[in-house]
Structure 1
Amino acid sequence: MTEPQYAPERLIPVVAAVIEREGRFLGARRTEPEALRGLWEFPGGKTEPGEDDVAALIRECREELGVEIAVGDPVGPEYVSPNGRFLVRTYRAELLDGEPAAIENHDEVRWFAPGTPEVRDVPWLEGDLAILDVLDAEAAPGTRVA
């Protein structure tokens, strides 16, 4: 078994949500920082000290989108951000209450159907491309990828 190329204890943990509804998932377009402005992502954010992934993801979706979610299973691989500062873990989430809105750190939210060209027509954060690959594979008939 090979050792990871990063030291997880030095990375800032970040969580992201694949919020699903009626066969579609939610994407959000970033407004900051400048280097990421205009890129699409799965909503989420940094965990606070002492906060677990589930609590962080619920808090971040409430703050950034104005919604309540239930956090489900992990989806896709965890990954280190291109700048080497963040370790991102992505989870499935169910929308419990509210309609997602671009409240904080985003200027647009949109529902996407996995496996369709419209998903790849917008620029996504580099790390989220692996999550999109999983969602696209699941959308193919007869498949479900962990």
Structure 2
Amino acid sequence: MLLVVAAAMIEDGRVLVQQRPEGTSLAGLWEFPGGKIEPGESPEAALARELDEELGVAVDPAALVPLTFASEALADRHLMLLLYRLDRWEGVPEARHASALAWADSAALRGLSMPPADVPFLEVLAPLLGGGAVLR
């Protein structure tokens, strides 16, 4: 089992997505920032750490609100991806471990190529971003 956390960082009806860099699996695809949970770490602590490492933003783990999850069979293990909503952080996000960052509204999200595990999140995020149901 691979436990991964991600954040839907929402601001002004848009959510932050990052593009996976060349040389990594799923390079070029857009995803929600986050990463693996380390042994002994709570999901919230892991996500706060990952957002600091990946984006240079400080997050109070108590500000992370569980939103939804995805379950995806991979070649050699099973991915459990936990998505949290985040409306408050300190600092300006910068692409430290990604090719690019983008603030996307519901319509823009529909046009992005994303990893299979992230796609179900679009339906949940659409109402939060001021959009209707997402049809893919």
Q: Post-superposition, which runs of at least 4 consecutive aligned residues in structure 1 deviate over 6 A?
A: none
In the alignment, the residues of structure 1 paired with residue 22 and residue 46 of structure 2 have an alpha-carbon distance, to the nearest angstrom, of: 20
Equivalent residue of 1:20, what SS? strand
Identify the residue that residue 53 of structure 1 maps to in structure 2. Answer: 43
Q: How many residues align?
A: 129
* Alignment correspondent of 1:3: none
Partners of 1:51 and 1:37 in 2: how far apart?
27
Cα displacement string for residues 15-58 of structure 1 (whole angstroms, at most 9, x for unaligned residues): 00001111111000001554310000000000111000000000
Q: Distance in 2 between matches of 1:108 and 1:100?
A: 11
Query: Which consecutive residues of structure 2, in runs of 5 or more, have no partner in the other structure?
Result: none
Q: Structure 1: which 5+ residue stretches go unaligned?
A: 1-10
Q: Deviations over 1:51-97 (max 9, x none)?
A: 00000000000000111124422223332354444211110112421
- The separation in 2 between residues aligned to 1:33 and 1:49, in whole angstroms, is 26
Change (3 A) 1:15 1:32: farther
Max Rg structure: 1
Match of 2:54 in 1: 64
- Larger mean CA deviation between 80-89 and 56-65 belongs to 80-89
Residue 78 of structure 1, aligned match among 70, 73, 76: 70
